[in-house]
Structure 1
Amino acid sequence: MPSTSQPSTFDLTPETNWWHPTAGLTWQWQIGDLDIDTSIEADVYDIDLYVDQAIIDELHAKGRKVICYISVGSWEDWRPDKDQFPAEVLGKDYDGWPGEKWLDIRAIDKLAPIMLARLDLCKAKGFDALEPDNMEIYTNDTGFPLTYEDQLKFALWLADEAHKRGLAIGQKNASDQVSQLVDVYDFAITEDYFYYNEAESMLPYIQSRQTRLRRRIHRPARRLRGVLRKIKTTQLQHHPQKTWLGCVDTNLPINQLQVRLQVES
């Protein structure tokens, strides 16, 4: 059974070293199911915080790096800490995703005990990095008057807390804040990269030689409950003028996703 226990917040002093992903790594993104296929030949696995400890240990024994997936901008009614969220931080329903509500990220003081406990658990389980889903929030209909500045403050707080725990952290979407986050975050993960015309805005992550992992999965198929989604060995490679990026063919049924490579100038 997946571990659901959460340690109390550590007495932290800032870490000085954490993993810095580099271009050329292959990666496997598998969430929506806690039964992880560890046989995929990939340098990096991106999996849910609440997977069983044995899975993380097995991946590390195989020399893999492991990214911890959590949602930082939404409440999910299937999480073991769901009852810890104060009612006043829960906003409108997350359209299209039953069981989720947006969070009031301005209330960092109220969210901190919950989010930091998750980061502590991520650290305790030996994850190498964090994928903070739904950090792009102020442009959504959340029920709160969130601003660009609110989102930036929250993003910088998350990065600081991740680094205190020796965890790398990836910018998740939020392409309009790249210029202010590229020197703080360690890599980036983008969804629907071409669909939302985010190529130019994400270039600083390439130009600064940080790694960008791109998921091209259209939102209606992004997090289907109970469906095993496996993105096999997506690879990023640098070329003096071009960057190769893995791309998922979304024209196929969700259980037949295939990876292909596309090139960007």
Structure 2
Amino acid sequence: MQTSTVELVLNADLNEDKEHVLWYKSKKFLIGVCVVATACVATGISLAVISANNTAHETHRAEVRASMSTPVAGTSWTLEAWGYKDEVKDDNYMVVVDMFDTSKSTIEKYQDEGHFVICYISAGTLESWRPDANTFPDSVLGLAMEDWAGEKWFDISKIFELEELMEPRFQMARDKGCQGIENDNVDCFINKCVSGMDKVDLTGYQLNYNKWLADTAHKYGMISSLKNAGDLVYQLVDWFDMVIVEECANYNECGLYKPFTQQNKGIFSVEYKTSSTAAKCSEAKEEFIRRKWNSDSTWKDCDY
């Protein structure tokens, strides 16, 4: 059968249409590829810029922290973390804040203003309101703290389990820019903290745990402050960089902490009772202790 001229023309038109469609689809595909590629390149550039900015920021923060010296005996300070109200003054070099409750930006602000930032954690108890409280199983907990609702002692005989559970807190402190750690409640050994164990049983565990706390802070580039635990000062003064003490004047225990000032390490003390303030401040000055005292629920500094 012969093909007519009309059919040849129609077939030619159809073939041309198919080629046009294929070309159009190919063009759309190539345009799509280019758009996606451009977007990917732009995203990659944006991510690279963000990464570079973050790196530059962290480098700057590290330089700021490195430029600041470790607090020594006689250093002025502000206590925001606990107790009463206190004011961050320009001439108060050290500032103590709550590690969980204080933002990274606030810590950086204090450092930019020339303050050395110590971050408070309860290293010896579980506070039920903290965001990581559910990571601590009952097996590492001791007895409830007297007069402190929602708080239990750690069973410091479970030191290996506690080390694994506590290390993320040091990582968090490091990431926030804390320059040091105030380790609270590290005197379980003289309290009713673990059922069936007394001071003799617990002292060795306490020493080992406290040394681990200091070593771990140092591992993450921070200094470490002992809190109270006067009976262990001679064994721990070489591990810790300073000490924060509650009511040593009231209990006539300030002499227990003298090994710190003998190494030019700071003793920072607070007194909750306002009686005999002048005498207590005079005594603190003689012993190179930076003391605060309670005045109408506000921390006041002894004059130096």
TM-score band w.r.t. shorter chain: 0.7 to 0.9
Change (3 A) 1:194 1:22: same
**CA displacement at 1:246 relative to structure 2:** 3.6
Compute the RMSD of aligned alpha carbons.
2.7
Letter in 1 for 2:136: F
**CA displacement at 1:249 relative to structure 2:** 3.4
Any idea what the Cα deviations from partners look like across 1:167-201, whole Å, max 9, x if unmatched? 10011111111111111111111111112221221
In the alignment of these two chains, the number of paired residues is 224
Unaligned 5+ runs, structure 2:
1-65, 274-280
Letter in 1 for 2:233: V
Report 1:92-171 matches (<5 A). 92-144=143-195, 145=197, 146-171=201-226
Unaligned 5+ runs, structure 1:
1-16, 219-234
Structure 2-normalised TM-score? 0.67
**CA displacement at 1:42 relative to structure 2:** 1.5
Letter in 1 for 2:72: T
Equivalent residue, structure 2, for 1:191: 246
Structure 1-normalised TM-score? 0.76
Q: What SS does the aligned partner of 1:147 have? A: helix
Letter in 1 for 2:237: V
Report 1:1-265 matches (<5 A). 20-32=70-82, 38=88, 41-50=91-100, 51-144=102-195, 145=197, 146-217=201-272, 242-250=286-294, 252-254=295-297, 256-261=298-303
**CA displacement at 1:216 relative to structure 2:** 1.8
More strand by proportion, 1 or 2?
1
Q: 2:189–2:206: 8 Å Cα contact kept in structure 1?
A: yes
More helix by proportion, 1 or 2?
2
**CA displacement at 1:161 relative to structure 2:** 0.9
**CA displacement at 1:94 relative to structure 2:** 0.8
Higher alpha-carbon Rg? 2
For residues 69 and 90 of structure 2, the distance between their equivalents in structure 1, rounded to whole angstroms, comes to 21
Give the fraction of aligned pairs with identical amino acids, expressed as a percent.
30
Any idea what the Cα deviations from partners look like across 1:194-247, whole Å, max 9, x if unmatched? 1222122111111121111112236xxxxxxxxxxxxxxxx9xx98xx334343
Change (3 A) 1:19 1:40: closer
